[in-house]
Each structure stands twice: as C-alpha cells, then as structure tokens.
C-alpha cells in the first residue's frame, strides 16, 4: 500500500506517528519510489522503518496486527530460490516457503475420508469415554433451559396457528446448540445472531397483521434459532411474549417481526431477515474488542444456507487476516428451507472451508449438549488467548418446519423427520445423562414443564392486553432531529388513517 502525499518526508513521518501509531507495523521490508514533481510515494514499509526508530510511537499501544502474520514472508535468501538438490528446491513466497515438485499433481476435490465429528455422549446419553468437567448446577440449568425453550416453541407456535401472533419459528431439534453454546460464553461476549437492522415496514406488518397475512407469508428467508442464548442470559418469558405480540413492552417498540429479538443489556444484537449479512459485522465487532484489549469475543450464528452467501466467505477471510477473536458457529441442519445441502455445495460440509481461509475449525455433534459445551468453551478460550477466529460446524437437524409459513413434509421424508425427533433428540439424550448422575427425576421434569407452561400462558395474556406502541415510534430513534421528508411521511400517514379508519386496528394509539 502506498501513500501519495504533497508534503515533505519529515512531515509525513510526523503525521503517521500521530495518526497511525495504533497500527503497530512491524517486520516489513522497506521500499521507496518517487513520482514526478512534488508527489512522493512512500510504502508502509518505508514509513515503518522510520517509525521503529522512535520507540515512543509504540509505547503503551496495543499491537493490532501480530508479528506472527509476517514471519513466513521473510526471505531466507535474496535470490528467492534455495536448492540442496533438485528434489529440495523451494520458493520464498508471501505466506511461506513453497516446495517445487517435478510431478504434476492436482489437489483432489475431496478428502478420502470425511472430517470426523466430535461427540461426548452416545445416543443413549452415556459418556463414550473418560469424564467431562461439567458440574450439577450448570448441567441442570442447561437442561432446564432446553426444556423451557422447547415448551416456549410449542406454545408460541400454537398461538400463531390460532391467529394471535403473525409469525413464528421454532428451534425444535436444535436446542442443544442454543443452550450449550450460551453456557460456554460469558455475558461480556457479544452475540450476533443475525444482522442488526430494523425495517420500518415490518412495524406495519406486525401491528396490522390481521389485515396483511399474505405479506408475512412471503418472508421465508429466515434462520433465527438462537433465542435460547437470550433465555440463558436472563431474557424473561414475558419479554419474549412482548416481542412476539409487538406491544408497548417490546424493547424494539414493535418495529420488528416476531422472533426478531434483541437486547442491548444482554449484549445480544437484534435479529433481522437478511441472511449472513451479520457475519462481517461480527468480525468488525470482534476487531473492536481486540483494539480495546477486552477479555471477550464476538460470537455469530448462521445456518448451512448462510454459508452459501458471499458474506460468509468475506467474513472468514476478514477474520483470518485481522486475527479477530470471533467464533463462527454454523448450525448445519441439512436444509436451507427446502434446499438440501447436496444442492448447495459439494464440499465436506462447512468445516473444510475454514482451512481454506486460514481459520482453525472443528466439527461437533450438534445434538450432544456436552460436546457442544466443551467445544465452544475451548474455542472461546483459544479465540481470546491467541487472538484468532474459530469456526465450529455443529451437525444437527431441523425437526420442525422452517417457519409457520412452511410445510417441510412437502420436501422431506416424514420418516426422516421422525427418526431425528425420537431417536436423536438432544433433550432426551441429555436428560438420560443427568438422570444417570442422580441430578434429575420424573418429578422434577413434571414440575418444570407445568410451571413453564403456566408462566408462558400468563405472559401471553399480559402481552395481548398491553397496548401497542404509539404511531410516532415508527419515526423515532434514527435521527436526533427528524428531517422534513420524514415529518411529511408521518403527516401523510396520519391523514391516511383519518380517511380510512376502518383499515386500521381500533386499539392502535395514534
């Protein structure tokens, strides 16, 4: 990268000292080339050479780019080629030494064997070998939250079918990924489930859902199955209900579709409908944590369908180059709505893509609560301690329909769904393990399910009775002083409501 300026060399150095001290440029070769007249082109290497002579520039400054990134680019010989015989020739090239070979050999499109999947519990909920460092308190809380999440999904799904809310999406079959990963994090870690973007028109779709059901049915590109992370962090059942019913108690003030949760207090960025666009955002967030020297990481979730988006590839490369402490957790459930993974890609799932971008990766059984917990905990520790991204591919299955707008039996065999629902259910498997330890019982199960159901039904009744947000909230929280065009839109909307009051809910506060 060259910096083209009209100042003297000394002025350039002083400017960089004051403005670019945080870059921590190290181990770069120097080069200087000049342009005509009063233009001078200085490479970052040349600037770094002068800056290194001024130790004060870097004093007490964090090194944002670790020196190990450049170690492999140091030339061992000026010629660029080293030889101890024809068979040992190699080329010094950016990124490291590359060996020469007289054999023309193409890299295979696939490995001989698929990447293995890490698991701790077998299908009967028994440890495969050794022991696991998980105590009673955290194990019982993980199970309780998984059962709560399952109950919440069942009741809210029924509420949507009754016409009480406009849209819903379940996490059935993927509860372990939600809860186990959340348990392995800390509240200081930022969660980016989907991109943090609010759509004004969604407010209307939510508030006026009784007259716009077909518009909601068109919103099918959604893959938000991390409410369990919020549940683990303390988001209440009443808060879930308020958001789904888009009432005045909703933190988003009714501006989002149901199940588009968010909480600034809990470091959980708000969900939106754009697939995979949250991934580069998570990398930028992780890089800011790195700059601030925080003992925390960013965590972002996405499905196998999200890995087919360009943002996925950009994010992995961005994270690898900047060495950002971010965890990419992929829920590979085999289906991107109705598109199977076989129609999406030919690679061995998602995990192999990490190696291509220089990202450490692992594949784990997404229905094994203990395996997920230990994996994410270890990944978080590596990401922060070593300042690097980690990719986790969790193999699981979406037992429920993609959303209330979907009928998955139209494109998936019913017996396949039932196999995963019965024989590979993550909640049943984990329950067997905690029961074998004497930490759970049938009585505790009945009491938990009964209490959660009662709390949810009460929360729904409260949410239904709570009035909707006022009309003005559609136009707030974006500009400090609303621009004239936004004021004109508000005025026009109010006039439209006056002319056509029959088209708007009577309980909607103007």
- Among all residues, which ones are annotated catalytic? 158, 273, 402-403
Burial category of 443 from C-beta neighbours within 10 Å (exposed 0-12, middle 13-18, buried 19 and up)? exposed
- Asked if residue 65 lies in contact with residue 73, where contact means CB atoms within 8 angstroms, the answer is no
The first and second tokens of residue 386, run together, are 């070593």
- In angstroms, how far is CA 207 from the centroid of its own chain? 28
- In angstroms, how far is CA 416 from the centroid of its own chain? 28
Secondary structure (3-state) at 4: strand
For residues 16 and 19, give the distance between their C-alpha atoms in angstroms, rounded to a whole number. 5
For residues 334 and 341, give the distance between their C-alpha atoms in angstroms, rounded to a whole number. 5
* Strand ranges for 284-401 from DSSP E: 298-303, 326-332, 335-336, 339-340, 360-365, 390-395
For residues 28 and 47, give the distance between their C-alpha atoms in angstroms, rounded to a whole number. 10
By DSSP bridging, strand 96-99 and strand 390-395 are unpaired
Burial category of 192 from C-beta neighbours within 10 Å (exposed 0-12, middle 13-18, buried 19 and up)? buried
* Strand ranges for 222-371 from DSSP E: 298-303, 326-332, 335-336, 339-340, 360-365
Secondary structure (3-state) at 395: strand
Secondary structure (3-state) at 175: helix
Termini Cα distance of the chain: 56
What is the SS3 assignment for 177-227? HHHHHHHCCCCCCEEECCCCCCCHHHHHHHHCCCCCHHHHHCCCCCCCCCH
For residues 288 and 22, give the distance between their C-alpha atoms in angstroms, rounded to a whole number. 12
For residue 224, what are the β-bridge partners? none
Q: Which residues contact 419 (CB under 8 A, 6 or more apart)?
A: none
């Amino acid at each position: 990268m060259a910096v083209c300026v009209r100042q003297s060399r000394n002025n350039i150095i002083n400017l960089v000292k004051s403005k670019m001290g945080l870059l921590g440029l190290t181990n770069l070769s120097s080069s200087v080339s000049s342009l005509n007249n009063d233009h001078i082109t200085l490479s970052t290497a040349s600037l770094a050479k002068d800056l290194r002579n001024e130790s004060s520039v870097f004093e007490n400054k964090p090194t944002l780019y670790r020196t190990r990134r450049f170690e492999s680019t140091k030339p061992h010989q000026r010629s660029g080629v080293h030889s101890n015989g024809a068979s040992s020739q190699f080329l010094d090239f950016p990124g490291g030494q590359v060996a020469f070979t007289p054999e023309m050999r193409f890299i295979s499109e696939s490995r001989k064997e698929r990447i293995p999947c890490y698991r701790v519990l077998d299908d009967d909920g028994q440890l495969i070998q050794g022991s696991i460092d998980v105590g009673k308190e955290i194990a019982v809380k993980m199970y309780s939250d998984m059962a709560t999440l399952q109950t919440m999904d069942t009741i809210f799904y029924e509420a949507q079918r009754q016409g009480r809310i406009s849209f819903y999406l379940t996490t059935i079959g993927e509860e372990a990924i939600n809860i186990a990963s959340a348990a392995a994090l800390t509240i200081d870690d930022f969660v980016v489930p989907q991109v943090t973007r609010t759509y004004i028109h969604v407010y209307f779709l939510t508030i006026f859902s009784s007259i716009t059901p077909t518009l909601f049915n068109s919103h099918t590109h959604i893959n938000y199955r991390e409410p369990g992370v919020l549940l683990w962090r303390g988001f209440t059942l009443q808060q879930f209900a308020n958001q789904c019913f888009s009432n005045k108690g909703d933190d988003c003030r009714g501006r989002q579709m149901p199940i588009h949760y968010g909480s600034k207090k809990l470091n959980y960025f708000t969900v939106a409908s754009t697939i995979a666009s949250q991934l580069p955002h998570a990398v930028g967030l992780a890089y800011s944590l790195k700059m601030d020297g925080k003992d925390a990481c960013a965590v972002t979730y996405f499905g196998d369908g999200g890995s087919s988006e360009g943002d996925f590839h950009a994010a992995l490369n961005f994270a690898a180059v900047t060495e950002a402490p971010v965890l990419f957790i992929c829920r590979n459930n085999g289906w991107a709505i109705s598109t199977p993974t076989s129609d999406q890609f030919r690679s061995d799932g998602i995990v192999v893509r990490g190696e291509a971008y220089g990202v450490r990766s692992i594949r784990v059984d997404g229905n094994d609560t203990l395996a997920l917990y230990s994996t994410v905990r270890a990944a978080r520790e590596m990401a922060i301690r070593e300042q690097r991204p980690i990719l986790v591919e969790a193999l699981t299955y979406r037992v429920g329909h993609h959303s209330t707008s979907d009928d998955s039996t139209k494109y998936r065999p019913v017996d396949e769904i039932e196999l995963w629902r019965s024989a590979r259910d993550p909640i049943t498997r984990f329950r067997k393990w905690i029961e074998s330890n004497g930490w759970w019982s049938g009585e505790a199960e009945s009491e938990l399910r009964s209490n959660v159901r009662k709390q949810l039904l009460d929360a729904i009744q409260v949410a239904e009775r709570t009035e909707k947000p006022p009309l003005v909230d559609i136009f707030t929280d974006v500009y400090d002083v609303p621009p004239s065009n936004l004021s004109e839109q508000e005025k026009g909307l109010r006039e439209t409501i006056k002319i056509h009051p029959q088209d708007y809910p009577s309980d909607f506060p103007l």
